[in-house]
């Protein structure tokens, strides 16, 4: 009798541990595609941009390429942190990954706080990636003129502002900034329509009622962070929209919870097409 009870307990423990392992793996190593509509009177014909961020040399790289290809985006935005340390193997892997993205659609990159090296930027340019290191490019997509700005900047000197980096934008275009950090206070003097950022990893774990677990190195930011929390999704900041992706990889530990690795498909459309 005792032996049977012991066997039953061991079996239940095994099933519970197995469930926890599978649940952890599902949260950290399965990829989803999330869609976000961006409507504007400046958009005359719909187009789509895939956002791929914060891979931290994730094992999901091949899956990301497949999913992005299936989405058939017109543009691809990569706001940084493709690798964590600057060992050559990781840089090469990140460059090969971006080359595959660039074969799908024009790919625009800005660095994160981990992957910033001049030789890396050069290697990305060689495989056809547009490195927006304080650069603006005008892109025409489905007849829409888009101003694409990018900054490879993750530490801002006190005097830094976007207005002192770029000439004033053409307000008739839809102007997008790629910046790893959603440092909206640095961009306030520059009229943009959209900022696309990463970095936050969506708060890593998302808890009921409390939101993200970590933001800007603060635990339980909803309770203890003094300032605006831009950790995941679409925000409106001073007349400009900000989209922050939760990204794909993990650093330093794979502790995502209810916050699966995501490729985001931004669906741009005119205000008339937008169904409210
Ligand atoms: Fe990151």
**In whole angstroms, how far apart are CA 197 and each of 16, 112, 162?**
38, 10, 15
Task: Retrieve residue 164's tokens.
Answer: 């002192």
Residue 148 CA to ligand 1 centre (angstroms) = 22
Q: Is 153 helix (H, G, I), strand (E, B) or coil?
A: coil
Question: Does the pLDDT at position 92 exceed 70?
Answer: yes
CA of 62 to the centre of ligand 1 (A): 19
pLDDT at site 158: 87
pLDDT of 273 reads 60
Residue with the bigger pLDDT between 192 and 7: it is 192
Looking at the predicted structure, is the pLDDT value of residue 140 above 50?
Answer: yes
For residue 153, what pLDDT band results from cuts at 50, 70 and 90? confident
Whole-number Å distance, alpha carbon 15 to ligand 1 midpoint, is 33
- Per DSSP, the three-state class of 183 is coil
* 200 CA from centroid of ligand 1 (Å): 7
Identify the H or E element spanning 214.
strand 214-215
Cα 112 to ligand 1 centre (Å): 7
**CA 15/CA 56 separation, integer angstroms:** 31
Mean model confidence pLDDT for the chain: 94
Query: Over 60: is that where the pLDDT of 207 sits?
Result: yes
59-65 mean pLDDT: 97
What is the reported pTM?
0.94
Q: Where are the domains of the chain?
A: 1-30, 32-269
Tell me what the mean pLDDT of segment 30-57 comes to. Answer: 97
Ligand 1 centroid distance, CA of 43 (Å): 31
Ordered strands of the 144-151 beta sheet: 135-141, 144-151, 174-179, 194-197, 240-244, 233-237
**pLDDT tens per residue, range 213-232:** 999 999 999 999 999 999 99
**DSSP β-bridge partners for residue 51:** 77, 264
> Which residues hold their Cβ within 5 A of ligand 1, which is an ion?
54, 81
Distance 216 CA to ligand 1 centre (A): 11
- Under the banding of pLDDT at 50, 70 and 90, the label for residue 2 is low
Percent of the chain beyond pLDDT 70?
97
Separation of 221 CA from ligand 1 center, angstroms? 17
The CATH number for 32-269, chosen from 3.30.342.10, 3.60.21.10, 1.10.150.570, 3.30.450.20, is 3.60.21.10
* Distance from residue 208's CA to the centre of ligand 1 (Å): 23
- Number of H helices and E strands in the chain, helices first, is 6, 16
Q: What is the pLDDT of residue 85?
A: 85
Inform me whether the pLDDT recorded for 276 exceeds 60.
no
Ligand 1 centroid to residue 145 C-alpha, Å: 30
Q: How many CB atoms lie within 10 A of CB 67?
A: 18
- 199 C-alpha vs ligand 1 centroid, how far in Å? 5
DSSP 4-71: HHHHHHHHHHHHHHHHHHHHHHHHHH--EEEEEEEE-TT-SS-EEEEE----TT-TTHHHHHHHHHHH
Each residue of 100-116: pLDDT tens digit?
A: 999 999 999 999 999 98
Taking only the tens place, the pLDDT of each residue in 161-191 is 999 999 999 999 999 999 999 999 999 999 9
Identify the band that residue 3 occupies on the pLDDT scale cut at 50, 70 and 90: low
């Amino acid at each position: 009798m005792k032996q049977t009870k012991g066997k039953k307990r061991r079996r239940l423990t095994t099933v519970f541990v197995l469930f926890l392992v599978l649940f952890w793996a599902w949260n950290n190593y399965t990829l989803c595609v999330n869609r976000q509509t961006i409507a504007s009177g400046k958009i005359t014909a719909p187009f789509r941009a895939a956002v791929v961020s914060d891979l931290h040399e994730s094992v999901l790289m091949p899956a990301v390429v497949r999913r992005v290809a299936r989405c058939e985006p017109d543009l691809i935005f990569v706001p940084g942190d493709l690798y964590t340390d600057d060992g050559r193997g990781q840089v090469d892997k990140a460059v090969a990954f971006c080359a595959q993205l660039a074969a799908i659609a024009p790919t625009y990159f800005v660095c994160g706080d981990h992957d910033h090296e001049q030789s890396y930027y050069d290697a990305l340019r060689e495989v056809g990636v547009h490195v927006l290191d304080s650069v603006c490019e005008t892109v025409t997509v489905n007849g829409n003129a888009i101003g694409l700005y990018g900054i490879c900047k993750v530490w801002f000197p006190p005097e830094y502002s976007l207005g002192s980096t770029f000439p004033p934008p053409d307000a008739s275009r839809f102007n997008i900034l790629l910046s790893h950090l959603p440092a909206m206070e640095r961009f306030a003097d520059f009229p943009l329509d959209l900022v696309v950022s990463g970095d936050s990893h969506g708060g890593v774990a998302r808890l009921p009622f409390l939101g993200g677990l970590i933001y800007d190195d603060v635990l339980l930011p909803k309770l203890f962070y003094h300032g605006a929390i831009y950790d995941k999704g679409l925000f409106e900041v001073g007349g400009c929209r900000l989209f922050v992706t939760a990204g794909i990889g993990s650093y330093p530990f794979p502790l995502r919870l209810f916050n699966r690795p995501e490729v985001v498909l931004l669906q741009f459309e005119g205000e008339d097409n937008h169904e409210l």
